[in-house]
A and B are shown apart, each in its own frame.
Chain A
Amino acid sequence: MKYTSFLIKYGEIGVKGKNRYKFEDALMKQIRIALKPLSCDFRVSRELGRIYVDADDDCYDDEDVIDALCRVFGIVAVCPVVRIESKDFENLKKAVIEYFDRAYPDKAVSFKVDTKRADKSYEKTSEQLNALLGEAILETFCETRVDVHKPDVLIKVEIRNHINIYSLSLPGPGGMPVGTNGKAMLLLSGGIDSPVAGYMIAKRGVKIEAVYFHAPPYTSERAKIKVIELARTMARYTGVINLNIINFTDIQLYIYEKCPHDELTIIMRRYMMKIAQQIAKTNGDLALITGESVGQVASQTVHSLAVTDNVCEMPVFRPLIGFDKQEIITVAQKIGTFETSIEPYEDCCTIFVAKHPVTKPQLEKILESEKKLSEKIDDLIKSAVDTKERILCSAK
């Protein structure tokens, strides 16, 4: 037996008042995009505050559909539905039993059948149907029992022009549909944190773009491939990510040559923010996103963050700011970026690192050091931005 229809539950959108249709439209659009790779015809429709996905032909694997839907931001839960066109009671009974059998491999559960009869002309009343269908389940699966007050399983049967049977409610990612909240630029490094930060902001409906700082020969081509992999993994949730790859070597070497080595990382991060901001402005992004978390490393102390923030003219979103490493790892594992993030290729933040980088940088001192760069830094930034490589990373 195959699930033929999917009932989409969405939470927050429901309270959006007059803008509600916009959010629903965006959600339906994202659902269509998510289902596209399955190359099968699905009808996405809206009906009485619900969104349905109906399969029009038979060329899909329903597990794949559920998998794809459970990655669409804005969906709180997906209920796989069995829809039958024939209203014959024997047929209904058979479908209910098959549904129960598939949905609950462990039969030792209590249940209740809850019928709603929109089609009042149906030969049996809701009460009769509840009793008859409950009895059928009990007879077929003798480990089950009925509990009308607190059932483990609530089997819903809706008699309309057709009949819907459903019960399972599989959790979606929640949040809001991508594209309902503007666009932002993620600083993507290849580590564990930044993909999680991007995921969390995208989950709030923000379209994500990314920038990666590449430093050959100090970072390898594999490090770059790893970042592309990460972007493609994120894209399963966020949709296509436009990844900007900046060759950062000359800037990094120039800073290394001119500035005190214990300030290298903090100055480098300031220039990364500047460059990210410059590209973001050109592309119409309204904010930056980083994976920083207070105190994780020297460049993420409150002092360092304040000094880094000083170069930013647009809001910087740091969704992981109060997260512990393990909390971040848990999300990374859930969204599937962890395995890639821990591949052992160096990123440009780990090269030339001083043994004891400053943890409490003073803005005045840093600005003083940066003056030493005034001769060439603007040209180097311009050339880095001009030669950026752009890769469209679509879901893999």
Chain B
Amino acid sequence: MNLACYNYNIKEFEYMRVYFDNAASTQTAKSVVDIMKKTMEEDYANPSAKHIMGIEAENYYKDAAQTVAETMKVNPKEIVFTSGGTESNNMALIGAAQAYKRSGKHIITSSIEHASVYEPLAYLKEEGFEISVLKTDGLGHIDLEELKDCIRKDTILVSIMLVNNEVGAVEPADEISGIIKKANPKIIFHADAIQAYGKYKIYPKKKGIDLLSASGHKLHGPKGVGFLYVNENIRLKPIVFGGGQQRGLRSGTINTPGIAAMGEAARSAYTDFDSKIKKITDIKDYIIDNIKDLEGVKVNSQKGLLSAPHVLSITVQGIKSEVLLHAFEAKNIYFSSGSACSSNHPRVSKTLKAIGLSDEEAFSTIRLSFSEYNTVSEADYFLRNFNELIPLLKKFK
């Protein structure tokens, strides 16, 4: 290898830009930007105002609630818009725990949840709730038998994510809710669907999901908006207090631009749905099929729809994921090391540990995540660089 001619220079931008970090955030769709712009430049009144301008602004909110509700075949009144996935998860967990604590103080969750689930649960633990954490197998699936055994008389809430953000494992929501409701129909099932909404058709009423969190910027919406589906039979204690907007569940001036954008993003995601998902899945499968069988390279996600269509976790033993990230960045290819939201803290990802990776493997794991805007030729470009860079980087460890 001639080192001198291999110059890592961040400014080599002569190649295409390949954004494979869509599970962290996505490019905002043009139609989404358009509707946001309109709500800011033209229909900017407070949606709670009594005048006609207020009513016009309120229509965006109503339309968005309607659109989102339709994608899940639920009632628009069951949608609460929030500031994003984190708030949705906080509202669901803290709101339900506070509302039902008289029936019991036991909550069940899994070991591969996002921080916005396990941190509120850690808070509830301090408040006197008892939290049981379910283990997962090497693919990230929870053990249903363990779930059965875990349910107690005082269990009030089960929170399991639908799609894991780091490896793309898909949890069996139907079976989970079957088990829960058979044991005690009063137990609430919360599903963190932040990586699932827009990638799967999710019908909470059919699946027995009582609370479901989603986020706008994972499906070409903007950051700062999300929603929580709250089944009409569930009452939550609010966690934000104020002017009583959104039926008192989520006070604060209705975020017209964000909510209109969320509605548009949802509408767009579920239009031509099957062909979009096929496109994303094809990219993932293409990489899995064509990644060179290099020593120490291990794919942690499954092909097709066995795991999430858009998430591909790869361990490259012997190379720190951060070094991989920067080496590909120089080639204008972008993805995450570990879990994007906490990658500033050099701690081992809980999820990667849970699926049985060693510390060293976890620090050498990258996550590619795709969207409908990606193409197979981008995947090719990634593969070409991967097959070239890995042996080179392995030399220096």
Q: Which residues of A contact B (CB under 8 A)?
A: 216-221, 247, 249-250, 253-254, 256-257, 344, 346, 352, 376, 379-380, 383, 387
Contacts and interface: CB of A to CB of B under 8 A. Distances in A.
Given A216-B326, A216-B330, A220-B326, 6 more contacts: A217-B393, A221-B326, A250-B8, A253-B3, A344-B346, A376-B4
B391 to A, nearest CB: 14
A396 to B, nearest CB: 22
A256 B396 contact: yes
A218 B3 contact: no
Contacts of A387: 9
A257 B4 CA distance: 13
Which range contains the number of B residues in contact with the other chain?
Answer: 20 to 34
19 contacts: A216-B9, A216-B10, A217-B323, A217-B328, A217-B393, A218-B323, A218-B326, A219-B326, A220-B325, A221-B10, A247-B7, A253-B3, A257-B3, A257-B396, A344-B344, A344-B346, A352-B396, A376-B4, A387-B9
Return the 9 tightest CB-CB contacts between A and B, nearest first: A217-B326, A217-B327, A216-B8, A249-B8, A250-B3, A217-B323, A220-B326, A253-B3, A254-B3
Contacts of A254: 3
Contacts of B3: 250, 253-254, 257, 376, 380
A247 B329 contact: no
B285 interface: no
Interface string B307-348: 000000000000000111111111000000000000011100
Contacts of A256: 396
Interface in B45-70: none
Nearest to A383: B4
Given A256-B396, A344-B344, A352-B396, A247 B326 contact: no
B15 interface: no
A131 B13 CA distance: 76
Nearest to A252: B396
B251 to A, nearest CB: 35
Contacts of A221: 10, 326, 329
A220 B330 CA distance: 10
A162 to B, nearest CB: 54
B6 to A, nearest CB: 7
A247 B396 contact: no
A96 to B, nearest CB: 50
Interface string B169-184: 0000000000000000
A255 to B, nearest CB: 10
A376 B7 CA distance: 14
B208 to A, nearest CB: 43
A382 to B, nearest CB: 11
A344 B347 CA distance: 12
Contacts of B4: 250, 376, 379-380, 383
A201 B340 CA distance: 40
A217 B329 contact: yes
A123 B322 CA distance: 78
Nearest to B10: A216
Contacts of A257: 3, 395-396
B346 to A, nearest CB: 7
Given A254-B3, A344-B344, A217 B8 contact: yes
A250 B7 contact: yes
B310 to A, nearest CB: 25
